[in-house]
Structure 1
Amino acid sequence: MKDPEEFDAFYKDARERLLLQAYALTGDLPAARSAVRDGFVLAWHHWRKVNRSESAEAWVRPHVWQHAHRRHTARVWHREKGLTADVKATLDALGRLTTTQRRVLLLAHLATTSMPELAREVGLTDETAARELQHATAQFSLHREVPSPQVALLLRRLESVTAEVRWPRASIVRRAGTARRRTHTFVGVAATVAAVAVAGTLLTDPSGLHPTLDRAAVAVPGASPSPVSPSSGALAPAAEPLPESAMLPAGAVAARVPGRGWTTVDTTDNTAGDGLSLPCRASRYADPQAVDALVREFSVTAEKGKPARVAWQATEVSRHRKAAKAGFRSVEKWYSGCTEGRTQLLRTSTVENVGDEAVQMVLRDWADPVRTYVLGVARSGRYVTTTLTSARGTNIENPSGNAVLLGTAVDALCDLGPGGACTGKVGLSPRDAEPVGDAPRMLVETDLPPVSTVSRPWVASRATKPRGNNPAATRCDQTVFVGKVGGKAVREAATRTYLVPGAKLPLEFGLSETIGTLPAQQAGGFVDAVRRKMAGCEDRELGSDVTSTLSRSKGDTELHTWRVSIEVSENTDVRYDMAVGRVGGRIFQVAFVPTAKVQMADGAFAALAERALERLRAAS
């Protein structure tokens, strides 16, 4: 017997994501809305099969996209009237892509698909799909006139159009699906059309329901069976998987975070708006098929009514522990590779003895006014909870207190049915940043510190295979990452540059990184060769000045940095900050070329070199 509660939960959870995807695909909101409705009617028709699949949403999505494309026949690129300039520009850029390019771009940024899954869904090989995605991203960025890291954000902003759609009740969709299933004769088809027509009238009914997680009707997989009513024999309502009482009270925040007068601003299920209320969030939910979710905001109001400090808690409960683990990793990656403007990841720590797993990150948003965030994320059983505190300025406020606050959040969840481990003696220990991006062994924009006089964000180029020239090399070392070292070829070599578009900086300004892999013995020889060249540079290059700023070796891990100044003419010097390091057989080189007015703060390049070593080690 089919379970309507599971279908209803799936319907309420997935419909907005599918509508956003179908709208981005066609630019036609009525066609997209009808296609989503039809897709769920079909899903209920085949629910036994859909519910046994690895992902119900992945099963429905191709049908929704196909229906949307079929219904989208009014003109080549239809759009609603009254769109904002921002939305119109995004739709125009999407409209200039081919259908295949749009599909791979939307699957990559609006759906949780791996590259093999993406390739399979569009009917391409993995290699061809990856090329199509790169080309689509580049074309969209060009037409939209934005750097590629902003692509996902711009696509999600289309939710400003789709967020106000009203939906038919799940029971109406199920009735339409049941009618469709009864017969495939002409009469059955006619009945289905009638049922769908009824559903369609309700889509525009002012009394229809807004998208929301139905907190009273969600069944919790894996929980104890719901009790049977003695009088009727019917199943009683399932227990609420995430009661509001399991969220932190304002007093718990006040006990661990500086500031007086903490109050609770709001508690929601995060279905309104774009769902990105917390900084660095990449999507509404870390687990796209979460059973339930709550977001609570806290604040301290300053004298003039401006919030001096803000804090949030976001909690989700997944259908099973595997999904919760994946949700936990998603939150880690959101913050380890935060794509918001000039936000920099300062450090990462393991939070010990909190839930089944927990981590803390400290980030800084260098936009004016500067803000510093302390993030904690923990998993306890099928719960994933995030705490985030924000304060103006560069002071890192009480990271140990924030860790205890995260533990308090876990203790409110762990004793509930879907919960797992609780909190013991809380501690913090340093750890490497979580690998992120298409080149997880390389630096990403979140790693890069600000530079003086520049208010624009860094943008990384696509990682490519070096062709002889190594942009991270200096005139002193002229290191290459191609060919052989000690009789062994350098493998997995990649290079990328980091620039600040639109900042009107001199051409020589920039940052570069190159990586590769050798057997451990040859990698050690590679680093030694660079060190010898740097030590002898002043003798070989007249007018050069080389200063060692850091040198550390421990076991198979090495890190060395230098500051280099080379006189290229009577009145002109070129300055470099350069680092080389290795973890076992993995090697890297980073070089930064500042200008007289645009430089990193003291110690910032050494910290960046340390992060490059972290990225190399964490992805090994």
Structure 2
Amino acid sequence: MADRPTNRPRRAFGADEPTPDTGAGLEGRFTEDEARPIFREDAADADAATVRTPGDADPATPDKPGTPAEAAASDRAEGEDATAAPRTKRLNFTPATRPAEDDATTLLPRTTGRPETAPLGLSGDRSDDEDLDERPRRLGRRGRLAVLVGAVAAVVVVGIAIGTAVIGVRDQPGAGGDPGPSSSAPVTPSATALLDDTSMLSVEGAQLIAGNRTWTAGSTVRGPVPDGSGAACLGSDPLEGAPTAQQTITRTLTADGSGAQSAVHVAQAYASVEDATQAFATTSRALGSCAVAGDWLFTGRVVEGVGDEATAVAVHSTVGGERTQHWVVASRTGRVLDVVDASTPGKTALNVNDVTKAVASVVTGQCGPAGGACATTVSTKDGPPPAGGDEPGFLATGDLPPVGSVTAPWVGTPVQAPSEDFSGSQCESVNWSTTAATAKSSRVYLLQDVPGIFGLNEIVLTVKDADTASKLAEKVRSDWSSCKERKLTATVDSPTKVTGVAAEGAAVTGWTTEVEQKAGGTTTRFRVGIASSGDKVAFVFLNPQKGLDVDGDDWNTVAVRAVQRATQQQ
């Protein structure tokens, strides 16, 4: 605060009455405490968290003509803060000082003949210092009145200053209540009291997942998600690109009996709805990528009626040759993001509708404090997993199933135009590099650090319209059916029809089959698939090797997923 101007009146009570020197006259009338600066300080606390980010790996590419490795090799050959501490109010009262010589007003002495009674600060027979030392100065009636008035005025000024300081401090954010109307600093909501133990999935809520079991709540951990406790496809580390949560709580629950189900609930509160919305988008993309070794993104669900937004995916996890089925449901209500992973060992998954009901029971208790939508009528329907992967429109590596007992992750090569040399199973009469299309591209997927010629090819086309796409898929299916007539060396299984739901609820139709080609004493086997949705067509090709193959049903899923991803490209 700027120093208050010094009040220096030049005349008072008439021209014939000299003004007392206020600097000396007030000296001694205020104690040390009264002249002491008055101030108030307030401060606020805040929470903090850290974020860690994962890395990626780069595969080695094997090489052999007529295989995914050949296609990869050929392609490579071608191409000021609102929440800061409040400012300090500091008010100083300084007694007025003697005017400087150049701007002091000349005062006339009284003609009493008694210099010892002259007003303070005037020349006489004695110096000022001598007068002060020998006897006290006596003031006239008007002089004493002037001093009294000046003292009262000073007290009033100090009182006003104190009131101003108190009001100023009261109006600052964090100073004993809500910010006053004069505050222009928005207050960041605190999540400290937003989540607690009652915000987490309860034993009663877990009963909705599997009512024929007795559930027990295990540990409830505040802070970073414990290692090994993260949901399938997400893991325990913070997700790259997600805002920092103000609160994170993780709870585990288990059911009794052999082959028992388990559930993990991670709840996170954010500073704003915008942060929580971004966190949900980042989580959805991570689920759609499923970049956790051993996890395969089996299918997705569109979820409605659980908070402001929600999504669900089915994940098959394989660890040490043992498979576990997961339903992972992510939901946001206001400033809170919930992820529940309900799992069961074996090959049979839980019912996704039961899992979403359990999540809805959590959202019901959170929605009010979180400022979001509550659970209403919960529903799930078929749909692709959330968009994910490193190349929009193409398979994410998490879309590809495990290969036998191999735990190596799938990795994709750069996207390029279809190669003229790619012949597929040799039954397709389509040259993918010259087929009429408004857009076409391809990609090869290999197993990281696994040598050999094993791999998967994906070719994606955008054609004139849905009818053209459907006819192209039908032509490929017909080529497989007639291949034995055209190539005596070929053996083709009857095509299996596959269906699904793509983006925006569009239907997916396609076929898969196995083809064997004999050359001398060597038999080569291929898995192939074709599917279309709208104006998108996707062709997938795999060349199984000894010990390197995928399950037939899993292959059907890959064929559908390829065109689902194509429809998600904007």
Q: TM-score under structure 2 normalisation? A: 0.62
Structure 2: tracts of 5 or more residues without a match: 1-40, 61-83, 89-173, 181-186, 501-505
- Structure 2 match to 1:537: 483
- Structure 1 match to 2:373: 421
- Structure 2 match to 1:613: 563
SS in 1 for 2:347: coil
Choose the corresponding residue for 1:581, options 521, 526, 531: 531
- Could you tell me how far 1:457 is from its partner in structure 2? 2.9
- Within a 5 Å distance, the mapping from 1:144-183 to structure 2 comes to none
- Could you tell me how far 1:410 is from its partner in structure 2? 0.5
- Within a 5 Å distance, the mapping from 1:487-498 to structure 2 comes to 489-491=437-439, 493-498=440-445
- Could you tell me how far 1:338 is from its partner in structure 2? 1.4
- Could you tell me how far 1:543 is from its partner in structure 2? 1.6
- Structure 2 match to 1:338: 290
2:363–2:374 contact (8 Å) kept in structure 1? yes
SS in 1 for 2:251: strand
2:206–2:215 contact (8 Å) kept in structure 1? no
Paired residue type of 1:449: P
Distance 1:438 1:602 in 2: 26
Choose the corresponding residue for 2:460, options 515, 524, 548: 515
Distance 2:266 2:291 in 1: 19
Paired residue type of 1:527: A
- Structure 1 match to 2:306: 354
Paired residue type of 2:487: E
2:538–2:559 contact (8 Å) kept in structure 1? no
- Structure 2 match to 1:297: 252
Choose the corresponding residue for 2:382, options 426, 430, 433: 430
- Could you tell me how far 1:353 is from its partner in structure 2? 1.5
SS in 2 for 1:240: coil
Distance 1:478 1:275 in 2: 49
Distance 1:345 1:575 in 2: 26
Choose the corresponding residue for 1:457, options 394, 400, 408: 408
- Structure 2 match to 1:443: 395
SS in 2 for 1:354: coil
Q: 1:137 to 1:265 in 2, by over 3 A?
A: closer
2:531–2:563 contact (8 Å) kept in structure 1? yes
Distance 1:429 1:467 in 2: 35
- Structure 1 match to 2:216: 262
2:218–2:251 contact (8 Å) kept in structure 1? yes
Distance 2:175 2:541 in 1: 61
Q: Which has the larger radius of gyration?
A: 2
2:389–2:397 contact (8 Å) kept in structure 1? no
Distance 2:356 2:202 in 1: 16
- Structure 2 match to 1:477: 428
Paired residue type of 1:295: T
Paired residue type of 2:354: G
Distance 1:405 1:379 in 2: 14
Distance 1:556 1:395 in 2: 26
Paired residue type of 1:351: V
1:37-85 deviation digits (Å, cap 9, x = unpaired): xxxxxxxxxxxxxxxxxxxxxxxxxxxxxxxxxxxxxxxxxxxxxxxxx
Choose the corresponding residue for 2:238, options 284, 307, 314: 284
1:276–1:284 contact (8 Å) kept in structure 2? no
2:418–2:442 contact (8 Å) kept in structure 1? no
- Structure 1 match to 2:277: 325
Q: 1:434 to 1:359 in 2, by over 3 A?
A: same
Tell which has more relative contact order, 1 or 2 (C-alpha 8 A, sep 6+): 2
- Structure 1 match to 2:155: none
- Could you tell me how far 1:558 is from its partner in structure 2? 3.7
1:267–1:297 contact (8 Å) kept in structure 2? no
1:263–1:298 contact (8 Å) kept in structure 2? yes
Distance 2:508 2:350 in 1: 32
Bigger fraction of residues in helix: 1
Distance 1:262 1:364 in 2: 24
Structure 1: tracts of 5 or more residues without a match: 21-105, 111-135, 143-173, 180-223
- Could you tell me how far 1:438 is from its partner in structure 2? 2.0
- Structure 1 match to 2:142: none
- Could you tell me how far 1:404 is from its partner in structure 2? 0.9
- Structure 1 match to 2:362: 409
Root-mean-square deviation (CA, aligned residues, Å) is 3.9
- Within a 5 Å distance, the mapping from 1:10-29 to structure 2 comes to 12-13=48-49, 16-17=50-51
- Could you tell me how far 1:261 is from its partner in structure 2? 4.3
Q: 1:472 to 1:410 in 2, by over 3 A?
A: farther
Q: 1:595 to 1:229 in 2, by over 3 A?
A: closer
Distance 2:403 2:408 in 1: 10
- Could you tell me how far 1:447 is from its partner in structure 2? 1.8
Paired residue type of 1:513: E
Distance 1:428 1:472 in 2: 41
1:292–1:317 contact (8 Å) kept in structure 2? yes
Distance 2:351 2:296 in 1: 19
1:154-190 deviation digits (Å, cap 9, x = unpaired): xxxxxxxxxxxxxxxxxxxx89x999xxxxxxxxxxx
- Within a 5 Å distance, the mapping from 1:42-53 to structure 2 comes to none
- Structure 2 match to 1:392: 345
- Could you tell me how far 1:609 is from its partner in structure 2? 1.0
Paired residue type of 1:576: F
1:474-510 deviation digits (Å, cap 9, x = unpaired): 211253333451xxx542x332222334456x52x32
Distance 1:459 1:552 in 2: 23
Paired residue type of 2:206: V
Paired residue type of 2:442: T
Paired residue type of 1:519: K
2:215–2:253 contact (8 Å) kept in structure 1? no
The number of equivalent residue pairs is 406
- Could you tell me how far 1:318 is from its partner in structure 2? 2.5
Q: TM-score under structure 1 normalisation? A: 0.58
Q: 1:301 to 1:267 in 2, by over 3 A?
A: farther
1:433–1:618 contact (8 Å) kept in structure 2? no
Choose the corresponding residue for 2:262, options 310, 313, 327: 310
2:223–2:248 contact (8 Å) kept in structure 1? yes
Paired residue type of 1:377: A
Distance 1:314 1:424 in 2: 21
